[in-house]
Amino acid sequence: MNNLKFLDNKKMFKTIKLISVFTLVMSISHTVLASDVAGKTILAKGKVEAYDQASKEKRKLKRRSEIFSVDNITTGDKSKAQFSMSDGGLITLKENTEILISNYKYNPEAGEASATLEVVNGGLRSISGLIKKSGGDYQVKTPVGSIGIRGTHFAVEVVGEETFFAVYSGNIDVRLNDQSILSLGSTEDFTFASVNAQGQIKRMTQAPAIISLGFSDVSSEDAADEGSDTDTNQSPQDSIADSGVSPLSNDALDNDSNPAESNVYTESEWQGINGLPIEELIAERTGTLAYNNVIQSTINSSVGQVNDFAMSMTIDFDNAAIPEGTLSFSDSQGEWFAAYSGLINVDQLDLGINFASHGNNKADGIIFAAFANGLDEIIGGFNLKEINNPSVNADGSFNIRP
């Protein structure tokens, strides 16, 4: 009788244990399902961590690590991170940065397209994806106000009681804490500004140094400790870059032409010289390098023959940035000039024109480029036009080397 009672108790204990395990699994599953996947890590060098505000768990981020809508993400000294978001957008963080992802949803079938980020400290650069392009609400909160996005490429840097803003493509509207609006961008008079804790605005004609410096250097030991690497989507330009054909068309570099591809970065790797993935070549390169030798160009102007084409582009490999670049040439009505900057987005360079002119007339346009022959060359193209007289325009392609 006692043996039977012992067996019954043992069976009951196993049943309770199974129920507890099942409950735990269901609880974990519910937590995972309740947190929307906001994106994944494509670069994590140095100390990059995420703190889940729901579960109170901290985890180390590395290549391919998922990030969620409940994550508080931080980077340490000599660290940087880059994330491919669920809508195909790109977010890059410099060292000593803290951001909060309180909402990031992109599910067209469910009618969900919204994002809310907060920059607590440090620097963030963003190239917006399909949430904004589909008309969704995309906001970035800062200590001095909330950024409403009307464009694609911008940066924000919080340093002490001052917040810096830069727009490289498109426009942003910052609703300041006093409810006034600060508008910056290509259709505004200024593309750079800073705002202090008292709400005082300082507009600038050039990028503030704190943003221009980009990301801090990362030692090889830090990178080795993280075991990090970059990840990339399969670019529509792969066959062009592999063959070395120039020029590139704007459509070939525009992910809008294929929203399905830009929605999620795949695990495929763009191949550079000697069969190495291009991201490995970029990760191994250090310092800055000026590409300013034009080896091929085809330039056209609506007002006739052009001459004296010159182009330079400074690549900062430590900071995954293009801090400065210029192109110029002349036609019968004067000199075309454009100054630009941007970011390295692995297989292509995300560039924005900061200033352009034709003679005494203000101009605007786009410039696009990518590495070719490993990192030995940069190929790309551009389109420029006078703002007040768009019929006066110019375009072309180029191939430049250091």
pLDDT tens readout for residues 285-343: 888 999 999 998 989 999 999 999 999 999 988 878 898 899 999 999 999 999 998 88
Instruction: Give me the pLDDT at residue 333, please.
Output: 94
Extract the tokens encoding 320: 């995954």
Instruction: Give me the pLDDT at residue 349, please.
Output: 86
Question: pLDDT at residue 388 above 60?
Answer: yes
- Output the average pLDDT for the chain: 76
Average pLDDT for residues 183-207, to the nearest whole number? 90
pLDDT tens readout for residues 234-265: 332 222 222 222 222 223 223 333 222 222 22
Instruction: Give me the pLDDT at residue 215, please.
Output: 41
Q: What type of residue sits at position 175?
A: R
**Residue 276 or residue 289, greater confidence:** 289
Question: pLDDT at residue 149 above 80?
Answer: no
Instruction: Give me the pLDDT at residue 9, please.
Output: 52
> Which residues are CB-neighbours of 401 under 8 A, at least 6 positions away?
291, 293, 295, 376, 377, 378
